[in-house]
Amino acid sequence: MSDHHHALPTKAGNRLWLSREFGLLLLIGLTTLIVCWVDPRFAAWENWRDIAVRAAPTVIVSCGVMLVVITGEIDISVGSLTAICAATMGMTLSAERLAWPLGVGAALTLLLGTSVGTLTGCLVTWGRVPSIIVTLGLLTGLRGVTTWVMGGENISHLPLILTDAAKRGWGGIPLSIYVAITVIVAQLLLLHRTPWGRRLYAVGSSAHAAEMAGLPIDRLKRFAFAYTGFLTAVATLVDVPRLPKIEAGIGAEFELLVVTCVVVGGVAVAGGRGSVCGVLLAVVLMTMVRPVLTFLDIGEAGEKWTKAIQGSFILMTVVADSLSRANRRAEGDSA
């Protein structure tokens, strides 16, 4: 069995994921038309720039979590990892704290994110602890460490070069958008132009078949977790400095948003399938929810509705995927 065999979905699979992407695109388009009809200001360049800026960190981290889910695992610790990375960045770089050079603080933040991701991967592969349990533990543990490190105080006064790049960037486009585009391109190349990418799909499609083919399953899973940790730290560095201050509660519920985007974007919960395009469209759709409610003048209930809509999307997607798998099995049995 070759790696290539797992990389190429069936025609039915192609139609399925094409329809997911088309459906998301249609939903984004219809939502935009309806809201523009109610309030034409929704179509303004500034509004879409804001949506892109808000979507950028979610895109970056979703690319990592996508790889984890493709291998048949899950990571729900990225929100708390964002918090500890932000605290590390703040403590090392703030003029009120250690005020270390930008390169040193940034390198430590990236090292921390990658190390936590690698540790997660090791516990899952060597320790044989289910990834949901490992990342649930980290979700709570890292949040506690963040609160302890920050001592209940907010952090501000980050280096001007960092805050300026995060807010204005170049040509009026913040740094996070440039980084998100770079990560998307890298993800596409990794998944579709390298043997490593095809092997990641193979592991999720059938771990037993991948093992029989001699693929390094554990190494591939460790890579997916480490890469997710690295991307979480990258997203923190390029996005968090936009905020006036770093709070201990930063990143709360971010993991729910990321997992929702990955699953709604068509990455199979059981692993083995998913496209970057689908995830990207899902991020745009999920990021649009709050601005849409604002333009529709929902008011203070907007925050509650946002969570309800996100939860509904993930529930509908999981049910749809389950029905789709059952249909494919029935077709296979009849054949």
pLDDT of 335 = 60
Instruction: Give the CATH class of 3-23+47-325.
Output: mainly alpha
- pTM for this entry: 0.91
Q: Please give the Cα distance from 115 to 297 (Å, whole number).
A: 44
| pLDDT single digits (tens) 101-126 | 999 999 999 999 999 999 999 999 99
Q: Where do the domains of the chain lie?
A: 3-23+47-325
Non-local CB neighbours of 2 within 8 Å, separated by 6+ positions? 213
| pLDDT single digits (tens) 21-32 | 888 999 999 999
Burial 177-192 (b: 16+ CB within 10 A, else e): bbbbeebbeebeebbe
Whether pLDDT at 2 is above 50 = no
| pLDDT single digits (tens) 252-267 | 999 999 999 999 999 9
The H helix count followed by the E strand count for the chain is 14, 0
Confidence class for position 15, pLDDT limits 50, 70, 90: low
Q: Which residues pair with 246 in a beta bridge?
A: 155
Confidence class for position 7, pLDDT limits 50, 70, 90: very low
Is the torsion defined by CA of 206, 128, 262, 191 positive or negative? negative
